[in-house]
Amino acid sequence: MIQAIKDVVNTLTDPVISFSILFVAFFFIFPPNNWFMRLNKKLRIEKLWTAKGGIVFFGLLTGVLLFGIRFDETFRSVITKPDNIPIVLLLYVMPFLTGLAMHQAVENDKRLANNEKPNEYSDPNDLDSQVLVWPDLIYVELISLIICSVGLIVWGIVLKAPLEEPANIADSPNPAKAPWYFLGLQEMLVYFDPWLAGVMFPTLIIVGLMAIPYIDLNKKGNGYYSYTERKAELSIFLFGWWVLWIYMVILGTFLRGPNWNFFGPFEKWDEHKVLVLNSINLSELIWVKFLNQPLPKNFAVREIFGLVGAAFYLVALPGILAKTFLKSYVEKLGLIRYSVFVILLLSMAGLPIKMYLRWTINLKYIISIPEFFLNI
Protein backbone atom coordinates (compact mmCIF):
# COMPACT_ATOMS: atom_id res chain seq x y z
CA MET A 1 0.00 0.00 0.00
CA ILE A 2 2.74 2.44 0.96
CA GLN A 3 4.74 1.65 -2.16
CA ALA A 4 1.61 2.11 -4.29
CA ILE A 5 1.12 5.58 -2.81
CA LYS A 6 4.76 6.40 -3.53
CA ASP A 7 4.40 5.25 -7.14
CA VAL A 8 1.30 7.40 -7.66
CA VAL A 9 3.02 10.48 -6.21
CA ASN A 10 6.15 9.88 -8.30
CA THR A 11 4.00 9.65 -11.43
CA LEU A 12 1.96 12.76 -10.67
CA THR A 13 5.07 14.84 -9.94
CA ASP A 14 6.61 14.09 -13.32
CA PRO A 15 7.25 17.56 -14.80
CA VAL A 16 4.96 17.05 -17.81
CA ILE A 17 2.06 15.85 -15.65
CA SER A 18 2.55 18.16 -12.66
CA PHE A 19 3.10 21.26 -14.79
CA SER A 20 0.07 20.44 -16.95
CA ILE A 21 -2.13 19.98 -13.88
CA LEU A 22 -0.86 23.23 -12.37
CA PHE A 23 -1.22 25.08 -15.70
CA VAL A 24 -4.86 24.05 -16.18
CA ALA A 25 -5.89 24.37 -12.53
CA PHE A 26 -4.32 27.80 -12.19
CA PHE A 27 -6.86 29.58 -14.40
CA PHE A 28 -9.75 28.05 -12.47
CA ILE A 29 -8.20 29.08 -9.14
CA PHE A 30 -7.16 32.55 -10.35
CA PRO A 31 -9.64 33.30 -13.17
CA PRO A 32 -8.35 35.87 -15.70
CA ASN A 33 -11.77 36.74 -17.18
CA ASN A 34 -15.50 36.51 -16.55
CA TRP A 35 -15.81 33.06 -18.15
CA PHE A 36 -13.32 31.49 -15.77
CA MET A 37 -14.79 33.53 -12.92
CA ARG A 38 -18.22 31.98 -13.50
CA LEU A 39 -16.67 28.50 -13.44
CA ASN A 40 -14.75 29.44 -10.31
CA LYS A 41 -17.97 30.37 -8.53
CA LYS A 42 -19.88 27.41 -9.94
CA LEU A 43 -17.22 24.99 -8.68
CA ARG A 44 -17.06 26.96 -5.41
CA ILE A 45 -13.28 27.18 -5.64
CA GLU A 46 -13.40 30.39 -3.63
CA LYS A 47 -13.99 28.14 -0.59
CA LEU A 48 -10.25 27.49 -0.80
CA TRP A 49 -9.72 30.98 0.65
CA THR A 50 -11.77 30.31 3.77
CA ALA A 51 -10.37 29.13 7.11
CA LYS A 52 -11.64 25.59 6.46
CA GLY A 53 -10.03 25.59 3.02
CA GLY A 54 -6.71 26.66 4.51
CA ILE A 55 -6.89 23.98 7.21
CA VAL A 56 -7.57 21.28 4.60
CA PHE A 57 -4.75 22.48 2.32
CA PHE A 58 -2.11 22.76 5.02
CA GLY A 59 -3.30 19.53 6.58
CA LEU A 60 -2.77 17.69 3.29
CA LEU A 61 0.62 19.37 2.76
CA THR A 62 1.78 18.46 6.26
CA GLY A 63 0.47 14.93 5.82
CA VAL A 64 2.47 14.44 2.63
CA LEU A 65 5.65 15.77 4.25
CA LEU A 66 5.23 13.61 7.37
CA PHE A 67 4.45 10.55 5.23
CA GLY A 68 7.63 11.07 3.19
CA ILE A 69 9.80 11.71 6.24
CA ARG A 70 8.42 8.62 7.96
CA PHE A 71 8.50 6.12 5.09
CA ASP A 72 11.19 7.26 2.62
CA GLU A 73 14.87 7.80 3.35
CA THR A 74 15.63 9.78 0.18
CA PHE A 75 12.70 12.13 0.77
CA ARG A 76 13.78 12.63 4.37
CA SER A 77 17.38 13.44 3.41
CA VAL A 78 16.31 15.96 0.75
CA ILE A 79 13.67 17.69 2.91
CA THR A 80 15.92 18.02 5.97
CA LYS A 81 19.01 19.22 4.10
CA PRO A 82 19.95 22.67 5.53
CA ASP A 83 20.06 24.16 2.04
CA ASN A 84 16.45 23.13 1.45
CA ILE A 85 14.89 24.35 4.71
CA PRO A 86 13.99 27.75 3.15
CA ILE A 87 12.04 25.97 0.42
CA VAL A 88 10.17 23.86 2.98
CA LEU A 89 9.20 27.10 4.72
CA LEU A 90 8.26 28.57 1.34
CA LEU A 91 5.79 25.69 0.86
CA TYR A 92 3.89 27.07 3.86
CA VAL A 93 4.57 30.80 3.76
CA MET A 94 3.68 31.52 0.12
CA PRO A 95 0.33 29.65 0.11
CA PHE A 96 -0.53 31.28 3.46
CA LEU A 97 0.20 34.82 2.25
CA THR A 98 -1.55 34.23 -1.08
CA GLY A 99 -4.53 32.68 0.67
CA LEU A 100 -4.73 35.54 3.19
CA ALA A 101 -4.69 38.14 0.41
CA MET A 102 -7.29 36.22 -1.61
CA HIS A 103 -9.50 35.82 1.49
CA GLN A 104 -9.48 39.57 2.03
CA ALA A 105 -10.09 40.16 -1.69
CA VAL A 106 -13.09 37.79 -1.78
CA GLU A 107 -14.58 39.42 1.31
CA ASN A 108 -14.19 42.87 -0.22
CA ASP A 109 -15.68 41.71 -3.52
CA LYS A 110 -18.79 40.56 -1.66
CA ARG A 111 -19.03 43.93 0.09
CA LEU A 112 -18.56 45.84 -3.16
CA ALA A 113 -21.26 43.71 -4.83
CA ASN A 114 -23.63 44.86 -2.07
CA ASN A 115 -22.60 48.51 -2.61
CA GLU A 116 -20.69 48.53 0.67
CA LYS A 117 -17.25 49.99 1.32
CA PRO A 118 -14.22 47.65 1.41
CA ASN A 119 -12.89 46.60 4.80
CA GLU A 120 -9.84 48.85 4.37
CA TYR A 121 -11.97 51.96 3.93
CA SER A 122 -11.74 54.63 6.61
CA ASP A 123 -13.65 57.88 6.76
CA PRO A 124 -11.12 60.73 6.28
CA ASN A 125 -13.18 62.79 8.73
CA ASP A 126 -13.11 60.10 11.43
CA LEU A 127 -9.64 60.12 12.99
CA ASP A 128 -10.46 57.17 15.28
CA SER A 129 -10.97 54.86 12.29
CA GLN A 130 -7.67 55.74 10.60
CA VAL A 131 -4.41 53.81 10.93
CA LEU A 132 -1.56 56.26 11.52
CA VAL A 133 2.12 55.79 10.80
CA TRP A 134 2.84 56.67 14.42
CA PRO A 135 2.21 54.79 16.57
CA ASP A 136 0.21 52.08 14.72
CA LEU A 137 2.54 51.23 11.82
CA ILE A 138 5.79 51.79 13.72
CA TYR A 139 4.73 49.45 16.53
CA VAL A 140 3.79 46.68 14.08
CA GLU A 141 7.07 47.04 12.18
CA LEU A 142 9.09 47.05 15.42
CA ILE A 143 7.41 43.88 16.66
CA SER A 144 7.92 42.23 13.25
CA LEU A 145 11.60 43.21 13.31
CA ILE A 146 12.07 41.66 16.76
CA ILE A 147 10.27 38.42 15.81
CA CYS A 148 12.27 38.03 12.57
CA SER A 149 15.57 38.74 14.34
CA VAL A 150 14.84 36.17 17.05
CA GLY A 151 13.80 33.66 14.39
CA LEU A 152 17.03 34.13 12.43
CA ILE A 153 19.13 33.81 15.60
CA VAL A 154 17.37 30.56 16.57
CA TRP A 155 17.72 29.32 12.99
CA GLY A 156 21.44 30.07 13.00
CA ILE A 157 21.96 28.24 16.31
CA VAL A 158 19.81 25.17 15.65
CA LEU A 159 20.60 24.48 11.99
CA LYS A 160 24.12 23.92 10.78
CA ALA A 161 25.29 26.27 8.05
CA PRO A 162 25.23 24.46 4.67
CA LEU A 163 28.95 24.96 4.16
CA GLU A 164 31.03 22.32 2.41
CA GLU A 165 34.72 21.63 2.01
CA PRO A 166 36.86 23.81 -0.31
CA ALA A 167 36.24 23.30 -4.01
CA ASN A 168 37.98 20.29 -5.49
CA ILE A 169 38.11 19.91 -9.27
CA ALA A 170 38.60 16.17 -8.83
CA ASP A 171 35.41 15.79 -6.80
CA SER A 172 32.57 17.94 -8.11
CA PRO A 173 29.22 17.74 -6.29
CA ASN A 174 26.50 15.89 -8.18
CA PRO A 175 24.10 17.52 -8.59
CA ALA A 176 25.72 20.96 -8.53
CA LYS A 177 22.92 23.32 -7.60
CA ALA A 178 22.75 27.08 -7.38
CA PRO A 179 21.46 28.74 -4.18
CA TRP A 180 17.74 28.15 -3.80
CA TYR A 181 16.81 31.67 -4.92
CA PHE A 182 18.58 31.04 -8.27
CA LEU A 183 17.26 27.53 -8.84
CA GLY A 184 14.47 28.85 -11.06
CA LEU A 185 17.06 30.31 -13.42
CA GLN A 186 19.13 27.11 -13.28
CA GLU A 187 16.05 25.10 -14.23
CA MET A 188 15.51 27.43 -17.20
CA LEU A 189 18.97 26.42 -18.48
CA VAL A 190 17.47 23.03 -19.33
CA TYR A 191 15.24 24.71 -21.91
CA PHE A 192 17.18 27.78 -23.08
CA ASP A 193 20.69 28.86 -23.98
CA PRO A 194 22.60 30.55 -21.10
CA TRP A 195 22.35 34.02 -22.66
CA LEU A 196 18.58 33.71 -22.57
CA ALA A 197 18.08 31.93 -19.23
CA GLY A 198 20.85 33.78 -17.40
CA VAL A 199 20.70 37.25 -18.97
CA MET A 200 17.61 38.01 -21.04
CA PHE A 201 14.94 36.45 -18.83
CA PRO A 202 16.21 38.03 -15.58
CA THR A 203 16.37 41.36 -17.42
CA LEU A 204 12.83 40.95 -18.73
CA ILE A 205 11.62 40.04 -15.23
CA ILE A 206 13.15 43.20 -13.77
CA VAL A 207 11.95 45.40 -16.64
CA GLY A 208 8.49 43.84 -16.47
CA LEU A 209 8.14 44.52 -12.74
CA MET A 210 9.35 48.09 -13.27
CA ALA A 211 6.86 48.58 -16.12
CA ILE A 212 3.79 47.43 -14.17
CA PRO A 213 2.93 50.88 -12.71
CA TYR A 214 3.18 52.45 -16.17
CA ILE A 215 1.23 49.76 -18.02
CA ASP A 216 -1.51 49.17 -15.46
CA LEU A 217 -4.08 51.96 -15.85
CA ASN A 218 -6.76 50.23 -13.80
CA LYS A 219 -7.48 52.52 -10.86
CA LYS A 220 -9.75 50.02 -9.14
CA GLY A 221 -8.38 47.89 -6.34
CA ASN A 222 -5.85 50.52 -5.27
CA GLY A 223 -5.56 50.75 -1.49
CA TYR A 224 -7.78 47.75 -0.81
CA TYR A 225 -7.89 44.05 -1.65
CA SER A 226 -10.07 43.05 -4.58
CA TYR A 227 -9.88 40.29 -7.17
CA THR A 228 -13.01 40.87 -9.25
CA GLU A 229 -11.90 44.40 -10.15
CA ARG A 230 -8.41 43.27 -11.22
CA LYS A 231 -8.88 39.75 -12.58
CA ALA A 232 -6.55 39.87 -15.57
CA GLU A 233 -3.80 41.87 -13.83
CA LEU A 234 -3.65 39.61 -10.79
CA SER A 235 -3.97 36.40 -12.81
CA ILE A 236 -1.03 37.33 -15.07
CA PHE A 237 1.16 38.37 -12.15
CA LEU A 238 0.35 35.28 -10.09
CA PHE A 239 0.93 33.03 -13.11
CA GLY A 240 4.43 34.42 -13.47
CA TRP A 241 5.05 34.16 -9.74
CA TRP A 242 3.56 30.77 -8.95
CA VAL A 243 3.78 28.77 -12.19
CA LEU A 244 6.94 30.19 -13.74
CA TRP A 245 8.97 30.88 -10.61
CA ILE A 246 7.85 29.08 -7.43
CA TYR A 247 7.16 25.86 -9.34
CA MET A 248 10.58 26.05 -11.01
CA VAL A 249 12.31 26.58 -7.65
CA ILE A 250 10.47 23.62 -6.11
CA LEU A 251 11.24 21.46 -9.15
CA GLY A 252 14.93 22.33 -9.04
CA THR A 253 15.14 21.83 -5.27
CA PHE A 254 13.30 18.59 -4.64
CA LEU A 255 12.94 16.83 -7.97
CA ARG A 256 16.30 17.35 -9.70
CA GLY A 257 18.95 14.86 -8.63
CA PRO A 258 22.32 13.58 -9.90
CA ASN A 259 23.22 14.69 -13.43
CA TRP A 260 20.22 17.04 -13.20
CA ASN A 261 17.92 14.11 -13.97
CA PHE A 262 14.35 14.17 -12.73
CA PHE A 263 13.54 12.00 -9.73
CA GLY A 264 10.18 11.57 -8.07
CA PRO A 265 9.88 12.62 -4.39
CA PHE A 266 10.06 8.96 -3.32
CA GLU A 267 12.55 7.78 -5.93
CA LYS A 268 16.12 6.94 -4.90
CA TRP A 269 18.72 9.31 -6.32
CA ASP A 270 20.80 7.00 -8.50
CA GLU A 271 23.94 8.60 -9.93
CA HIS A 272 24.02 5.93 -12.63
CA LYS A 273 20.53 6.66 -13.93
CA VAL A 274 20.79 7.17 -17.68
CA LEU A 275 18.09 8.75 -19.82
CA VAL A 276 18.18 8.62 -23.60
CA LEU A 277 17.66 12.22 -24.74
CA ASN A 278 18.15 12.67 -28.45
CA SER A 279 17.94 16.46 -28.56
CA ILE A 280 17.11 17.89 -31.95
CA ASN A 281 16.97 21.38 -33.42
CA LEU A 282 13.94 22.63 -35.34
CA SER A 283 15.98 22.84 -38.54
CA GLU A 284 17.02 19.19 -38.20
CA LEU A 285 13.47 18.14 -37.38
CA ILE A 286 12.06 19.74 -40.54
CA TRP A 287 14.87 19.32 -43.06
CA VAL A 288 16.12 15.88 -42.07
CA LYS A 289 13.12 14.20 -40.40
CA PHE A 290 10.19 15.61 -42.38
CA LEU A 291 11.67 16.63 -45.75
CA ASN A 292 14.34 13.90 -45.80
CA GLN A 293 16.91 16.45 -46.99
CA PRO A 294 20.41 17.27 -45.73
CA LEU A 295 20.83 20.50 -43.79
CA PRO A 296 21.54 23.45 -46.12
CA LYS A 297 24.97 24.99 -45.65
CA ASN A 298 23.64 28.54 -45.72
CA PHE A 299 22.52 29.38 -42.18
CA ALA A 300 19.68 31.65 -43.38
CA VAL A 301 18.18 28.87 -45.48
CA ARG A 302 18.85 26.26 -42.82
CA GLU A 303 17.10 28.25 -40.08
CA ILE A 304 14.38 29.79 -42.24
CA PHE A 305 11.59 27.93 -40.42
CA GLY A 306 12.78 29.06 -37.00
CA LEU A 307 13.36 32.63 -38.16
CA VAL A 308 9.90 32.84 -39.71
CA GLY A 309 8.33 31.30 -36.60
CA ALA A 310 10.13 33.74 -34.28
CA ALA A 311 9.18 36.69 -36.51
CA PHE A 312 5.55 35.59 -36.51
CA TYR A 313 5.54 35.13 -32.72
CA LEU A 314 7.17 38.47 -31.88
CA VAL A 315 5.97 40.68 -34.76
CA ALA A 316 2.81 39.34 -36.39
CA LEU A 317 1.13 37.74 -33.38
CA PRO A 318 0.95 40.98 -31.32
CA GLY A 319 -0.90 42.60 -34.24
CA ILE A 320 -3.27 39.64 -34.58
CA LEU A 321 -4.00 39.70 -30.85
CA ALA A 322 -4.59 43.45 -31.04
CA LYS A 323 -7.34 42.84 -33.58
CA THR A 324 -8.92 39.91 -31.74
CA PHE A 325 -8.51 38.73 -28.14
CA LEU A 326 -6.66 41.79 -26.83
CA LYS A 327 -8.56 44.46 -28.74
CA SER A 328 -9.92 45.97 -25.54
CA TYR A 329 -6.36 46.30 -24.20
CA VAL A 330 -5.28 48.35 -27.22
CA GLU A 331 -8.19 50.72 -26.67
CA LYS A 332 -7.50 50.94 -22.94
CA LEU A 333 -3.69 51.12 -22.93
CA GLY A 334 -2.84 52.80 -26.20
CA LEU A 335 -0.37 51.53 -28.80
CA ILE A 336 2.90 52.04 -26.88
CA ARG A 337 1.72 50.57 -23.59
CA TYR A 338 0.04 47.70 -25.42
CA SER A 339 3.24 46.94 -27.35
CA VAL A 340 5.28 46.73 -24.14
CA PHE A 341 2.57 44.67 -22.44
CA VAL A 342 2.17 42.13 -25.24
CA ILE A 343 5.92 41.61 -25.71
CA LEU A 344 6.30 40.93 -21.99
CA LEU A 345 3.26 38.65 -22.09
CA LEU A 346 4.57 36.65 -25.06
CA SER A 347 8.01 36.41 -23.45
CA MET A 348 6.35 34.95 -20.37
CA ALA A 349 4.35 32.52 -22.50
CA GLY A 350 7.53 31.48 -24.32
CA LEU A 351 8.83 29.63 -21.27
CA PRO A 352 6.02 27.04 -20.94
CA ILE A 353 5.89 26.67 -24.73
CA LYS A 354 9.59 25.81 -24.87
CA MET A 355 9.26 23.54 -21.83
CA TYR A 356 6.57 21.48 -23.54
CA LEU A 357 8.58 21.31 -26.79
CA ARG A 358 11.55 20.03 -24.81
CA TRP A 359 9.50 17.47 -22.91
CA THR A 360 7.51 16.14 -25.86
CA ILE A 361 9.87 16.11 -28.88
CA ASN A 362 13.23 16.92 -27.19
CA LEU A 363 13.45 20.16 -29.17
CA LYS A 364 16.68 21.89 -28.19
CA TYR A 365 16.78 25.06 -30.30
CA ILE A 366 14.17 26.76 -32.45
CA ILE A 367 16.95 28.79 -34.05
CA SER A 368 20.53 27.51 -34.02
CA ILE A 369 23.17 29.67 -35.69
CA PRO A 370 26.50 28.61 -34.14
CA GLU A 371 28.28 30.69 -36.76
CA PHE A 372 27.21 33.76 -34.77
CA PHE A 373 26.81 32.06 -31.37
CA LEU A 374 23.06 32.59 -31.57
CA ASN A 375 20.77 29.90 -30.20
CA ILE A 376 17.12 30.36 -29.28
Q: Which stretch, 119-128, 171-180, 209-218, has highest mean pLDDT?
A: 209-218
If pLDDT is split at 50, 70 and 90, which confidence band does 168 have?
confident
Q: Which stretch, 88-97, 173-182, 207-216, has highest mean pLDDT?
A: 88-97
Asked if 204 and 344 count as a contact pair (C-beta separation under 8 A), the reply is: yes
Given a cut of 80, whether residue 334 has pLDDT beyond it is: yes
Asked if 263 and 6 count as a contact pair (C-beta separation under 8 A), the reply is: no
Beta strands in the chain (DSSP E): 368-369, 374-375
What percentage of the chain carries pLDDT values higher than 70? 99
Given a cut of 90, whether residue 134 has pLDDT beyond it is: no
If pLDDT is split at 50, 70 and 90, which confidence band does 62 have?
very high
In the predicted model, what is the mean pLDDT of residues 39-66?
91
Report d(CA 243, CA 241) in Å as an integer: 6
pLDDT (tens digit per residue) in 81-131? 888 888 899 999 999 999 999 999 999 999 998 988 888 877 777 767 677
Asked if 187 and 252 count as a contact pair (C-beta separation under 8 A), the reply is: yes
Determine the pLDDT at residue 56: 93
Report d(CA 11, CA 43) in Å as an integer: 26
Total length of the chain: 376
Determine the pLDDT at residue 103: 94
Determine the pLDDT at residue 27: 93
SS3 state at 374? strand
